[in-house]
Structure 1
Amino acid sequence: MMDAPSVPDPVFVLAAPRSFTSLITAMIGQHPELYGLPELNLFQCDLMEEFNTGLTPDGISKSPVWKTMRHGLLRTVAELYAGEQTVESIHMAERWLARRADRTSAEVFHELCKSIAPLRVVEKSPGVLRKQVFMDRMLEAFPNARFIHLLRSPVDQGRSVLKAKGGIGVLLAMNCVDYRGEEAALEPQILWHDTQVQILRFLDKLPDEQFVTVRGEDLLNDLDNSLGALCRWLGVSDDVEAIAAMKRPEESAYSCLGPANARLGNDVNFLRSPALREGGVTSTPLDAPLPWRADAAPLHPRVQALARELGY
């Protein structure tokens, strides 16, 4: 009788929204020894009943877009247990989740990892970074997981958030508003700053070997060397075939729009056009006038200082 495969601890990508997260997570997940998932959002909940209903234990709605935040897990269950993502297999996934309503999110995540073993799960859910309790739940479930702190320059990340579908809603939900002027104005640099602080506080709990910081611009501008270094840090093959597979994120089963009852699970722009486009990725200088500000002010000094500390 053959032994069951060991279940490796997952790899979590921690990053602010619009920080190349969809592309780079999909790339890493295409490595032959890894398995990239869409956004599961599991650790925003304790029990699966909360995930299924979208209601907190005291009956408050978790998010006005919680229905779409469930799409990644539904697509994952459909793909893993039905071998396809169709309207019918998504209905099956709903039943699968309903049968686990009394389980914890950690138990369900462990079950998924076991079904994927010996491949190692790679996942990112930016919503988990909203609250420290969500991140603590993730670490409690997987104390030996690896964490990739993925960065993007604050000016470019802020510009991207404002352009993205739903980006303004994210800024409002996170209270990223500057009240210092005569009129209140959306200020995406608050999202960048507060997310990095949240991640850094979390990483302070971990030994150095358990996490790595990656600037997305550096990775995309030097793919072979950056991906090779990341593979060696993860302890997986860095041969030519593995690196080539990572450059084909569009081959993931999740790198496309899903069926009508679970369309998303990732950034919609990535899902519509998931291929890697090789070429130079630039960073806007930290002291440049911000394109979204009427007064053309640069980044706040605290944001500039943190960005420089992180290598920009």
Structure 2
Amino acid sequence: MTATVPAGGAPHGTEPVVAGHPDPLFILSPPRSFSTITLALLAGHPRIFGFPEMLVFANETVRDLVGEDGTEAERFPPEYRRTRLSGVCRAIAQLHEGEQTAEAVARAEEWLRERPDWPMPRILDHLLDLVSPQVGVEKSPDTVATDDSLDRCLRSYPKARYLHLTRHPVTTQRSMHNQNQQYLTHRKVRVVGAASSWYLSHRRIMRTLGELPQRQWMRVRGEDLVNEPRVWLRRILDWLELESDETVIDRMVHPESWLFANNGPAGGLFGGDHKFFSAPDLRPVPDPGPVTFDPEWDLPEEMCRRMAVLADELGY
């Protein structure tokens, strides 16, 4: 059934959202940190609705997201913008029409374009209302890419829960190098950018969450969750105060059952890790080993030292 939502109304910007739904959960992590499969695992819980990447806090308004003069248009080429936009559009299509066909996704994009002045948290708030009483879970690496984005997240949802997801710095960066080849063709730019992204994102998350009550956030190593999902899902659910019996866990360890664990009926839809969408299986990962950076990366010694110190703080 299509939800009818007025195009007007008072925007709430970065002011706290007035919740008519449970407070959401945000997964905070840099790119390539097992965040998509983590989201898919959590979405298996009957009380949780997992959204694809919505880019809620990377853009202040819908115009910034979809406008030809918006921040997305300034930052990314057209073909990559389509990929980034597909997450929020398929979420809207699913919740408005119960399907993610090309036609439903196109209508979802048009619905967005009719609301250019809406602050992005208002879009998420609308969708959270539609999935209530389920707890909405969202993850976008862009949320932790800048201080402004992460601040917008906490200002908009100050009572939310935050899952800090980590991954070994060496394997994270190797994965980033492979992912970014299409858009960052200069190898040195990719290598230094990946190191900076891993380090600065985690420092930003730790600094911000350190100011919140302990009950609002939890830190989990992605490798532990993927390799021992039954153990770590139960711990996360206990923290969220949600049911965690064996029947629930049995359901959750099938990430391929997530509503968005595919490329859509017509293909070409994303909203997370492209590799996951092509093969949404739960596969263990090898032990990442010591924090030893590849000499061929030719990273500055001080950068390596700081990353090693941070990795130790994160349990690597």
Q: TM-score, normalised by structure 1?
A: 0.86
Provide the residue aligned with 1:130 in structure 2: 145
Aligned residues: 296
CA distance in 2, matches of 1:170, 1:21: 22
Provide the residue aligned with 2:39 in structure 1: 25
Structure 1 residue 215, shift from structure 2 partner: 0.6
Residue 296 of structure 2 corresponds to residue 311 of structure 1: no
Distance 1:261 1:104, change over 3 A: farther
Match of residue 103, structure 2, among 70, 88, 97 = 88
CA distance in 2, matches of 1:292, 1:78: 45
Provide the residue aligned with 1:251 in structure 2: 257
Distance 1:85 1:92, change over 3 A: same
Superposed CA RMSD? 2.7
Structure 1 residue 133, shift from structure 2 partner: 1.1
Distance 1:89 1:6, change over 3 A: same
Residue 282 of structure 2 corresponds to residue 276 of structure 1: yes
Partner SS for 1:122: strand
CA distance in 2, matches of 1:156, 1:82: 39
CA distance in 2, matches of 1:208, 1:219: 20
Equivalent pair of 1:156/1:284 in contact (CA under 8 Å): no
Give unpaired runs (5+ residues) of structure 2. 1-18
The letter of the residue matching 1:127 is D
Equivalent pair of 1:39/1:73 in contact (CA under 8 Å): yes
Give unpaired runs (5+ residues) of structure 1. 179-184
Provide the residue aligned with 1:205 in structure 2: 211
Equivalent pair of 2:63/2:70 in contact (CA under 8 Å): no
Structure 1 residue 12, shift from structure 2 partner: 0.4
Equivalent pair of 1:290/1:299 in contact (CA under 8 Å): no
Match of residue 244, structure 2, among 238, 260, 269 = 238
The letter of the residue matching 2:176 is V
Structure 1 residue 291, shift from structure 2 partner: 6.6
Alpha-carbon deviations, 1:272-311, whole Å to 9, x = none?
Answer: 000112x45312201x35175369x897111101100111
CA distance in 1, matches of 2:207, 2:155: 16
CA distance in 2, matches of 1:255, 1:89: 17
Equivalent pair of 2:42/2:48 in contact (CA under 8 Å): yes
Structure 1 residue 98, shift from structure 2 partner: 2.0
Structure 1 residue 9, shift from structure 2 partner: 0.9
Equivalent pair of 2:48/2:137 in contact (CA under 8 Å): yes
Match of residue 78, structure 1, among 93, 98, 117 = 93
CA distance in 2, matches of 1:234, 1:7: 15
Provide the residue aligned with 2:74 in structure 1: 61
The letter of the residue matching 1:61 is E
Alpha-carbon deviations, 1:39-95, whole Å to 9, x = none?
Answer: 0002112221221215337x9613233332111000001111111111110121022
The letter of the residue matching 1:300 is C
CA distance in 1, matches of 2:41, 2:246: 14
CA distance in 1, matches of 2:193, 2:205: 20
CA distance in 1, matches of 2:280, 2:26: 20
CA distance in 2, matches of 1:84, 1:128: 27
Distance 1:289 1:244, change over 3 A: same
Provide the residue aligned with 1:194 in structure 2: 200
The letter of the residue matching 1:56 is G
CA distance in 2, matches of 1:275, 1:109: 27
Provide the residue aligned with 1:9 in structure 2: 23
CA distance in 1, matches of 2:236, 2:185: 31
Equivalent pair of 1:171/1:188 in contact (CA under 8 Å): no
